[in-house]
Structure formats: structure tokens, C-alpha cells
Structure 1
Amino acid sequence: MRKFAPVLAIVGILVLGFLYYMSVNNGAVEVDQSVKKEWGNVESSYQRRNDLIGNLVKTVQGAAEYEKGTLTAVIEARAKATSITIDPANVTPEQLAQFQQVQSGMSSALSRLLVTVEQYPSLKANENFLKLQDELASTENQILTARTRYNESIEKFNNYVLKMPRKIFLSDYKEKAPFKADAGAEKAPDVEFNFDKKETK
């Protein structure tokens, strides 16, 4: 029996090693799926904003028919914002930077459009416009929350796959890039206006 002890010990070590590998791999799958889920929430939040902006453009277009240049800028920015697709399984800093850039362009164009509302009293009393305005403000908060949760899932993923000894078994899993704050990103785009406020000269 003693002569089989070394063989049994080796088999036992191999079994334990295999079980550890399975545990590590399953853990990596879980944190990877979490990242994909949170990225889906980010995309859903931005999609909601894009849908609302489409409705907002139609509402403004009906009441401010001479603001064609501003409306065109918003429409073009919206098209760019929806043209960028990211695979959360292989997200890179460059991809996220490009995504953030087009979304910032969308926010900027939207802000310029909303400033023109001051010139159109009919929009100030338009219930549809006011509702869209409120929904946009709410959606900006949803985007912030979704991005924060995505970054939290990225942190968990990176910590899991990059720490030793798991890193040895998870060479196929690469570090993922989190969102980085844009300049002034601590403030959501201002989509609420005080229409009673007089312009100071």
C-alpha cells in the first residue's frame, strides 16, 4: 500500500489543482458576465436619452421651424452617438474614449438646442416639451448611475483576473478599461431652464 502512496498523493494534488482551476475559471466567468450586464445598462441609459432627444427634436421642430442649423447639429450628433458600438468583452481605453467623445458631442449639441427655447414662448408652455425636459434630466441621472455601476464591476473584474495566483490561470482574460471622467463630467448637462429668469445685461 505504501508503494502507491506517492501516486495517490500526485493524483490528489492534480484533482485539487483541477478543482481550484475550475473555481477560478467559474469566478472569472461570473465577474465577466457582471461587466457585460452593467455595460448593457449603460447602453440602455444612453439609448433612452437618444430616444428622448429624437422626440424633443420633433417637438422643437414644430414650434421653432427656423432653428434648422441647431436642429441639424443635434440630429448629426445623435447619429454619431448611436453609431459607436462597444463589445464589453474586449473594451479598450481607446474605444471608451471615442464613445465618451461622441456622447459629449451629443450633450453639447443638446445644450445649444435647449438654449434656443428661450426665443419661443410657445415651447415654454408645451406640456410635451416640459415632460421630455424632465425625462431627460432623469435620464442623465440614470446614465451617471449606470456608468458608476459599470466602473464598479470593472474594478471587481480587474482585481479578480489580475491578482496572483489567479492571473496564471486566466491569461485569456485581459484588463478592461473603466469610464474616465470628462472635464466637467461631475455635472450632468443642464436640461432644465428657468423660463422666468430675465437675462442680465
Structure 2
Amino acid sequence: MTSSPSEPAGLRERKKARTRAAIQRHALRLFHEQGYSATTVDQIAAAAEISPSTFFRYFPTKEATVLYDPFDPLLIEAAVGQSAALSPIGALRATMTFIREQLPAEEWEAERQRQGLVFREPELRSAVMDKFAEGIDVLADLAARRTGRAADDFEVRNWAGAVVGVVLAAFLGAAADPEADMLLVIDQAVAHLDAGLPL
């Protein structure tokens, strides 16, 4: 799906985002119906009515269709926009509440299934650890922007690592429960961290 050179950049980006979302949607449906290992890139491309070469312009691998989180940019934008009076953790919790309230039920159900697949499939579960490591950089940058400190400040990165740790623990626990509200579980984990992790 190529764009005309005369198309505005914003329109091209929206078309690319729609195509990426469609590919991911078909991939997740096929993974659910026939299993992750049994599903091929060719099958995903056929379901999305694109060529395999077009598939690879959007996702470098099959596993990337699951690991790609379409809500990351929304979460970051919402977190940056929270009140300056909030602590970094307060901003994260307010962001999760905002996303939970704004996300249509069917989109959240699809996201919950994506997250469950990530933690059920051993191949994906190991790959997602890299994503959590990247999350430390994202959270350190967010905390730095909110506190006026450097993103590579020891305490800033330590805070970011702690958040990633409790979020990972929450993900692993919630993934085992098909009825779990992932955002609520993560919020509880972050609140526990904010309270000093009392036992």
C-alpha cells in the first residue's frame, strides 16, 4: 500500500497506522484460531489482503505483530499531559485511569488478548523482556521531564526500573487470569510501589 507523493504527511501516517492495525488485528485473530506457531506470515498477509513484502514493510517478523503495542504512544502522551502537581507515579496512575475510561471495550478486550498471548507463548515471553528493558528508558525520560532531572540520573533510572519491575510482576500474575483487568492490576502494583512496597 503505497502513498501518493502529493498526499499530506499526516494522511500518509494515518493510512500507515490503519494498515498496521489491520495487519495486527488479522494476525491476532489467526493466532487465536489456529495457534501462534501454526500461523505463517503468508497467512497473515493473505488475511489482511496484502503481499508478504508489504507485511515486512510494517513488521520485521511475525512476533513483532504481537509485541507491537499500539497504546504506547497514547500512554506516553497522556502521561506527559498530566498535571505538574502530580508526582511521576501519580502521573502514571492518572494516565492509566484516563486510558481505562477512554478505551472502547472491544479495543481493550483485543489488547487484553494480545497481552495474554505474549505471556503464554514461550517464544514471545522471552522477546517481551527486551520491551520491558526499553520501558526503563521511556519511564526515565518521563520522570526526567517531570522532575527536571537528567534521564540518566541514577535515582531516576532506579525509579524507572522499580516501576518496570512491579509492572512486569503484575503482567505475569494477570496473564494467568483470563478475567483480570490488566490496567487495574497494574495500577494496584504501582500504588503498592508508591506506598513503599509494604509487606
Same structural fold, with TM-score higher than 0.5 when normalized by the shorter chain: no
Report the TM-score, using the length of structure 2 for normalisation: 0.29
Query: Which structure carries more relative contact order (alpha carbon 8 Å, separation 6+)?
Result: 1
Report the TM-score, using the length of structure 1 for normalisation: 0.29
